[in-house]
Structure 1
């Protein structure tokens, strides 16, 4: 049986090269980790190579310190015909205590593509639990909001 993987958690230690001038892990490093986890999740669900189409709503809640054990949790919360909405949460802790705290969360939209970069169909994800249904409905609301924001942002396009 070949079951699709809906979620994934990446774990690693925050390294000295990840630090910004303030001595904490750089936001760009966190965004890279989020993108890696989103790709792994989307590829696991779709069985295809995937590219990032959108990353938004990123909220940095708490800093990450060098040497922290970092967990980036990603899960599919909505599928379109070729896209997957991935909810991500980043947690960190001192590896000696293992007391986790949320540091970042966001939504990333990944699109499955073929070798020519053309979008490909992805399997439909159907929410089952109440939490799944709530997240699915929220993903739909966010799509509508992004469309409105995109229309408003046209003023800045040249």
Structure 2
């Protein structure tokens, strides 16, 4: 069996239809690109169709201008039985200078599903390098934080 692909980078130019009323690429377009890269990464790792279960910690650091070369890098940092935690980083630059700058980063959790939409087992990712181990530990901490946030959010889901 072929080794699963742990990471992927999508590259393209930001187009005029991606712009908001302020003249910069709007957050919704960036979030769409993040979801596409997360899917490509998760599908490459699992060899299966995957769905988005969570997107969080989205931090918009700097604007993206029309005509910028955009790179969306996605990497598996943790796997469960059917889920993959994907760390994403969006960088942009003028294609003439190639002086990249971070614009956005976040975590997306994708779940592999079968033809009927039920969760399906995926290959386990085992961290090897020190950087991998730090990312893995970070994913575990984020899992605990998400649980705490979910518990706190219950107040908004209760009926009055």
- Which TM-score bucket, shorter chain as reference? over 0.9
TM-score by length of structure 1 reads: 0.99
Q: TM-score, normalised by structure 2?
A: 0.98
For structure 1, list consecutive stretches of 5 or more residues without a partner in the other structure. none
- Aligned residue for 2:108? 108
SS at match of 1:90: strand
Supply the distance in 2 between the matched residues of 1:26 and 1:4 (Cα, whole angstroms). 33
Aligned residue pairs, count: 158
Q: What CA distance in whole angstroms lies between the structure 1 residues aligned with 2:141 and 2:99?
A: 33
Q: Please state how far the C-alpha of 1:23 moved relative to its aligned partner.
A: 0.1
Q: Is 1:64 the equivalent of 2:71? A: no
Encode CA deviations 1:98-123: one digit per residue, 9 max, x unaligned: 00000000000000001111000010
Distance 1:152 1:116 in 2: 32
Q: In the alignment, which residue of structure 2 is the partner of 1:97? A: 97
Shift of 1:149: 0.7
CA-CA distance at 1:127 after TM superposition? 0.3
Match of 1:73, SS?
A: strand
Once the two structures are superposed, residues 105-146 of structure 1 have per-residue CA deviations (whole angstroms, 9 ceiling, x without a partner) of 000000000111100001000000000000000000000110
Task: Report the Cα offset of residue 151 of structure 1.
Answer: 0.6
- How far does residue 3 in structure 1 lie from its aligned partner after superposition? 1.6
Question: Once superposed, which parts of structure 1, at least 4 consecutive aligned residues long, lie more than 4 Å away?
Answer: none
- Deviation for aligned residue 1:150: 0.4
In the other structure, the counterpart of 1:22 is 22
User: Which residue is equivalent to 1:44?
Assistant: 44
- RMSD after superposition: 0.6
- The answer to whether the aligner puts 1:4 opposite 2:38 as a matched pair is no
Which residues of structure 2 form unaligned runs of 5+? none
**Aligned equivalents of 1:127 and 1:49: distance in 2?**
23
